[in-house]
């Protein structure tokens, strides 16, 4: 009887691990919301600065 250790097992097909990228993909909706939040915060503090 032959042992099953000599048989090649099929390897799962996975894409090669890519190097970590420094640029993050942010959706346009999220960019707009973050921008509006920053502008709103800025206006809020400048509005009440004179009080």
Tell me the mean pLDDT per 10 residues along the chain, length 51.
59 68 80 96 86 59
3 belongs to a structural domain: no
Q: Is the pTM of this model over 0.85?
A: no
Chain centroid offset of residue 12 CA:
25
Residue 35, pLDDT score: 97
Residue whose token pair is 């250790």:
5
Return the pLDDT at 26.
83
Query: What is the domain extent for residue 50?
Result: 27-51
Query: For residues 46 and 11, what is the distance between their CA atoms, to the nearest angstrom?
Result: 61
pLDDT at 38: 97
Structural domain includes residue 36: yes
- Report if residue 10 sits inside a domain: no
Q: Count up the domains in the chain and report the number.
A: 1
Q: Residue 8: inside a domain, yes or no?
A: no
Residue whose entry in the numeric block shows the structure tokens 């939040």: 37
């Amino acid at each position: 009887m032959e042992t099953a250790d000599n048989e090649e097992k099929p390897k799962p097909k996975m894409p090669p691990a890519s190097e970590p990228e420094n640029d993050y993909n942010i959706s346009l909706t999220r960019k707009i919301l973050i921008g509006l939040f920053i502008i709103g915060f800025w206006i809020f503090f400048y509005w009440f600065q004179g009080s």
